Amino acid sequence: MKKILISILIGLSFTAVSCTSWLDIPKKGVIPEDEFYSSDAQAEALLANMYVSLQGANGVAGSSGIYNPQLMILNYSADDVLAAGGNPEDHGEFRVFDEFRYDNANSALLNLYNGYATGIYAANLIISHFTTENVNGEEPYFTSDYTDQCVAEARVMRAYLHMMMALSWYAPNIVDRVLEVDEYPVQATDQSQVLSWVISECDKAIKSGNLPERKGPNDKLATARASVGFAQFVAGKAAVFNNDMEKARKYLGALIESGNYELTPSEEYWTNFHVAGDGNSEKIFEPNFIEDANFTYSSFALGQPVWRGRWMVANVLCWRLDNLASTPTVCEKLPGSGGGWNGGAIQEDFAKKFLEHDGDSPRRRACFLTEEEWLYEMDWSGSQFNDALLIQKQRDPNRGISSQSGVYSHGPYFEWKFMVYHNPPKILTGGKSYPADNIASMGANSNQTNFNLARYAEALLLYAEACIGSSDAAKGLKALREVQTRSGSGKLSNKLTIEAVMEEKQYEMWFECCRFHDLVHWASRGFVDLNKVFNSSGIHEHVPTVSDAFFLLDESGAPAYPKYYQKEHHLVTTYSRAVFDAFTIGRNEYFPFPRDVKAANPYLEDVLGWSDYGD
């Protein structure tokens, strides 16, 4: 008995003592932070993280939820793109930008902010750990030529992201290093402070000599990372928006003179917005989307393909297919994955102006189709008459808009600049073979096109603007004419004027996240009257709906247009009243800081008209 007692007591105490070490369980799949930042390979992994951060869930160039916030917010806020939707309230999170009804609770706006801020943090991880630009000015553990290059790339990326924030929020935080766990970022006093800092950062990166440089227009490698050209672009653009035209000419002039960039031929203008043009001569910087099957199907995704970036932008930017008589072959896979949601409709008045200006230029046809082109030049997958006579197409019930309710929020012009091309259309390819935008195995609503953040045409036009009235006017005119020539419109300016630049830029850069910032910038210089653009022009007041007389019945069920009914396609546009708020001068030029961002940072102050809004 006693033996039992003793043995049990010993056993008990033994257990009690030995167990504590069993509580130490190391974490799997990670490295302790204090062992990191100490090799070139780790620097490269951090650099990869920075570029990926542009594409991920909140990435500037990625899709957050079902939208790409930068693409949508910056374009819907402009005067030439209409928001998506099957009815007045569909896709409300974005339509409110079209109609200036947004507030600081808008989730897309939060995603946009977070996208920029996340990218800046990713850049700072590199800068703060491989330079002394950290909280205590501490020397890094490890540096090398390669980390110097990483730092330079990060510096430029950080500058670009700050510039975009300044153009959107006027006075965002300037975050120039990794913050402490309890530290708040410091807000800039105004836009100019941010832009000046952006320029100096780009300058520092360029002067460091550590940035990769593009080796001629055919070098694709330098388009997927921040290069000297991109640094020049960012510095130049920031300078234009900072009204420092001399600096703008310096950086943009150097970019142009480098000879490393070229506009694509007119006939290939369209490829700039599709996989066929990824990394082409015109691209200054675009985060590269994954096409590496080994990674796409890696174990992270448990056998599911990883849709990075452009997920569902394919849906948003496609026509509303469920209203059509059959699916256009250009996007024939989409009905199986949500169809099109009509999100990039071209504003009708602008389309008319564009058509008048450009005629049948390759540029215009790459942006949108006219009624005739859309109905009869384009191939429809339900039709037997794609190669038949016009008269057969006119009587073909498998093309056109079959829905009695028509296509809401859409006029009689059919944009496709950023649509996913399952089959690159003959109208643009001329029958030549080009890769599709969609990897067959990745779901019909994925679009592997790189999301372009800086294109040479924009650089030329920014340069042209910077040269107005300067001694470089001739060079500026040359740059403008280079864009005009390539467009195929046949229009060439003989004099460098702001009007000429503004006009050309609206066509050339349509739907490329420029227009809204440009309007605000030009208004600040007195060239544009925002009240006229947004309020008195009436562009907000009516929402178009386009229908096809070939199918239309009246309320009694009789053909509404007997001349066309079942005989010939003919588009009819009607208009309904929109729900909109006026563009408020002094407020709507910039966005409010998102509610959640303000909630997390009591020191962040809204500026201009937002500071007393909603109090």
Partner 1 sequence: MIKNLLRVTGIFLVLTTLLGGLSAYAQNKPISGHVVDSQGNPVIDAYVTVVGNIRVSTITSLDGSYALIVPVGARVSVECIGYQTYTFTVGDRTVYDIVLEDDLEMLEATVVIGYGSQRKSDLTGSVVNLQLEDLRNLSTTDAAGALQGKAPGVHVITNGSPGSGADIRIRGYSSNGGDIAPLYIVDGLQVNSIQYLDPSMIMSIDILKDAASAAIYGAQAGNGVVLITTKTGVDGRPVVTYKGKATMQSFARRPQMGREDLLTYLGYEYGDAWVGKMLADYDYDHPSYPNGVIDQDWISAYIEPSWTQQHSLTLSGGNHSGHYYASINYLNENGVVKGDKDVYKRITAQINADYQIFRWLKIGSTASLERWDTKSVSQRGYSSSFELMLLMDPLTPVYWTSVSEMSSAVRQMYDRVMAGDKTIPQYRFLGDNNGWFANTKYSDTEGSPLARRDATDATSSGFNINGTLFANVDLFRSLTFTTRFGYRISQSMTHSYTAPFYIGRGSQDTYNLSATSNQGFYFQWENFINYELKRDKHDLTLMAGMSYRQDNADNMTGGSTGLDILPSYESQFQYLSYIKGDASKSLTNLPTRSASLAYFGRLIYSYDNRYSIQANFRADAFDSSKLSPDKRWGYFPSVSAGWTISNEPFFRDHVNTHTFNLLKLRGSWGRNGNISVLSGYRYANYIAVGNNWYQFDPENAGSVFSSAPDYSNGLPNPNLTWETSEQFDAGFDAGLFDNRLNVTVDYFNKQTKDLLFNVSVPIERGASSSTVNGGRVLNSGFEFDVQWKNSHRDFTYFVKANFSTLHNEVLELAANAARITASDASSTNYKLQTAFEPGYPVWYLLGYVYEGLDSEGDPIYTDFNGDGTISSDDMRFIGQGTPKFTYGLTLNMAWKGFDFTLYGAGIGGNSIVPVLHRTGFKNGLKVYLDQANTDANPDGPLPNPGKIVAPDNAFWSSSGNVFRGDYFRIKQMQLGYSLPDSFLRRTPLTEVRLYVSLDDFFTFTSYPGLDPETASTNNTTGTGLDWGSYPTMRKTIIGLNLTF
Write out the binding residues for partner 1, residues 38-67 only, by CB under 8 A: 42, 44-49, 51-52, 56
Query: Pairing relation of β-strands 368-369 and 345-346?
Result: unpaired
| Minimum separation from the CB atom of position 498 to partner 1 (A) | 35
Q: Which is nearer to partner 1, 131 or 315 (CB)?
A: 315
Q: Which is nearer to partner 1, 262 or 596 (CB)?
A: 596
For residue 88, state whether it binds partner 1 (rule: CB under 8 A). Answer: yes
* One-character DSSP codes across 332-392: TTGGGGT----TTEEPHHHHHHHHHHHTT-HHHHHHEE-HHIIIIIS-BTT-S-TTS-HHH
For residue 28, state whether it binds partner 1 (rule: CB under 8 A). Answer: yes
For residue 23, state whether it binds partner 1 (rule: CB under 8 A). Answer: yes
Q: Tokens for 409?
A: 């929020």
State the Cα–Cα distance between residues 223 and 221, nearest whole angstrom: 6
For residue 484, state whether it binds partner 1 (rule: CB under 8 A). Answer: no
Site size toward partner 1, by CB under 8 A: 122
Q: Which is nearer to partner 1, 210 or 327 (CB)?
A: 327
Q: Which is nearer to partner 1, 213 or 349 (CB)?
A: 213
Q: Which is nearer to partner 1, 46 or 454 (CB)?
A: 46
Q: Tokens for 173?
A: 């935080």
User: For partner 1, which residue of 403, 409, 448, 535 counts as binding (CB under 8 A)?
Assistant: 403
| Minimum separation from the CB atom of position 497 to partner 1 (A) | 37
For residue 615, state whether it binds partner 1 (rule: CB under 8 A). Answer: yes
User: For partner 1, which residue of 3, 137, 303, 430 counts as binding (CB under 8 A)?
Assistant: 303
For residue 558, state whether it binds partner 1 (rule: CB under 8 A). Answer: no
For residue 405, state whether it binds partner 1 (rule: CB under 8 A). Answer: yes
For residue 486, state whether it binds partner 1 (rule: CB under 8 A). Answer: no
Residues in 161-180 at the binding interface with partner 1, rule: CB under 8 A: 173, 175, 178-179
For residue 404, state whether it binds partner 1 (rule: CB under 8 A). Answer: yes
For residue 382, state whether it binds partner 1 (rule: CB under 8 A). Answer: yes
* Cα dihedral: 482, 488, 492, 498 (round 10): -70
| Minimum separation from the CB atom of position 504 to partner 1 (A) | 28
For residue 543, state whether it binds partner 1 (rule: CB under 8 A). Answer: no
For residue 33, state whether it binds partner 1 (rule: CB under 8 A). Answer: yes
The residue length of the chain stands at 615
- Given a contact cutoff of 8 angstroms between Cβ atoms, the answer to whether 98 and 82 are in contact is yes
Residue 571, SS3? strand
Residues in 383-402 at the binding interface with partner 1, rule: CB under 8 A: 402
State the Cα–Cα distance between residues 261 and 249, nearest whole angstrom: 16
The 64-83 contact track toward partner 1, x by CB under 8 A, reads --------------------
Return the closest-CA partner of residue 196 out of 233, 162, 232, 152.
Answer: 162
- Given a contact cutoff of 8 angstroms between Cβ atoms, the answer to whether 163 and 242 are in contact is no
For residue 156, state whether it binds partner 1 (rule: CB under 8 A). Answer: no
Q: Which stretch binds partner 1 (CB under 8 A): 74-82, 142-150, 343-351, 597-605?
A: 597-605
For residue 297, state whether it binds partner 1 (rule: CB under 8 A). Answer: yes
| Minimum separation from the CB atom of position 111 to partner 1 (A) | 11
- Report in angstroms the alpha-carbon separations of 237 from 241, 411, 420, 446, 474: 6, 33, 29, 31, 19
| Minimum separation from the CB atom of position 440 to partner 1 (A) | 7
Residue 402, SS3? coil
* One-character DSSP codes across 297-345: TSGGGTTS----S-TTHHHHTS--GGGBSS-BGGGTTGGGGT----TTE
For residue 563, state whether it binds partner 1 (rule: CB under 8 A). Answer: no
For residue 609, state whether it binds partner 1 (rule: CB under 8 A). Answer: no
For residue 135, state whether it binds partner 1 (rule: CB under 8 A). Answer: no
Q: Which is nearer to partner 1, 279 or 493 (CB)?
A: 279
| Minimum separation from the CB atom of position 386 to partner 1 (A) | 14
For the stretch 111-142, what's the b/e string if a residue is b when 16 or more beta carbons lie within 10 angstroms of its beta carbon?
bbbbbbbbbbbbbbbbbbbbbebbeeeeebee
Q: Which is nearer to partner 1, 462 or 549 (CB)?
A: 549
For residue 22, state whether it binds partner 1 (rule: CB under 8 A). Answer: yes
Q: Which stretch binds partner 1 (CB under 8 A): 14-22, 350-358, 424-432, 500-508?
A: 14-22
Q: What is the DSSP letter of 250?
A: H
Query: Pairing relation of β-strands 186-187 and 173-174?
Result: antiparallel
State the Cα–Cα distance between residues 354 and 349, nearest whole angstrom: 9
Q: Which stretch binds partner 1 (CB under 8 A): 234-242, 477-485, 522-530, 596-604?
A: 596-604
For residue 86, state whether it binds partner 1 (rule: CB under 8 A). Answer: yes
Return the closest-CA partner of residue 309 out of 418, 230, 417, 415.
Answer: 418
State the Cα–Cα distance between residues 349 and 346, nearest whole angstrom: 9
CA atoms within a 13 Å half-sphere pointing along the CA-CB vector of 488: 18
Residue 173, SS3? strand
* One-character DSSP codes across 435-454: --SS-GGG-TT-------SE
Q: Tokens for 230?
A: 């991109």
**Residue where the block lists tokens 């019930």:** 397
Q: Which is nearer to partner 1, 103 or 541 (CB)?
A: 103
Q: Which stretch binds partner 1 (CB under 8 A): 253-261, 317-325, 354-362, 493-501?
A: 317-325
User: For partner 1, which residue of 132, 144, 384, 441 counts as binding (CB under 8 A)?
Assistant: 441
User: For partner 1, which residue of 76, 97, 100, 121 counts as binding (CB under 8 A)?
Assistant: 121
- Given a contact cutoff of 8 angstroms between Cβ atoms, the answer to whether 539 and 513 are in contact is no
Q: Which is nearer to partner 1, 90 or 262 (CB)?
A: 90
User: For partner 1, which residue of 10, 135, 221, 390 counts as binding (CB under 8 A)?
Assistant: 221
Residue 413, SS3? coil
